[in-house]
Amino acid sequence: MIERDQFEKVLIDHVLAGVVLVDAETLKVEKINPAARAMLGLQEDQAIEDLCQKFFCSSNDGLCPLKDLGITVDNAECELQRADGRRIHVQKSVQRVKIQGKEKYVECFVDISSHKNIH
């Protein structure tokens, strides 16, 4: 039987949606799954320990929509900036969770750029 930790790692590593774990206090990226790295054109170690605004909230002038602006991000459309400077359209949700007593943000997103370009 597969252990819970193994199941969660397999699930996060193989889901087609981008998944990012951010420390709610420092706003630094702690984990980023392969789908998120691929959508954003990042190498495996890129983005870890960077402020989440660098890639995930780059249009908010350094403000965190959740922490600083009090905005709920649930099934919202927005743009993210790839490492090469191009922007992609995503459908995104962010949930605040507590892991081992520490507040985190779990950000999930799906690239919808191809849907946005069809008129």
In whole angstroms, give the CA distance from residue 88 to residue 29. 19
Backbone region of residue 70 per phi and psi (left: phi > 0; alpha: psi in -120 to 50; beta: other values): left
In whole angstroms, give the CA distance from residue 52 to residue 23. 9
pTM > 0.85: yes or no:
no
Question: What integer best gives the mean pLDDT of the chain?
Answer: 82
According to the model, what pLDDT value does residue 70 have? 60
pLDDT tens digit sequence for 97-107: 999 999 999 99
Q: Residue 54 in 3-state DSSP?
A: helix
pLDDT tens digit sequence for 57-80: 755 566 666 665 566 667 788 888
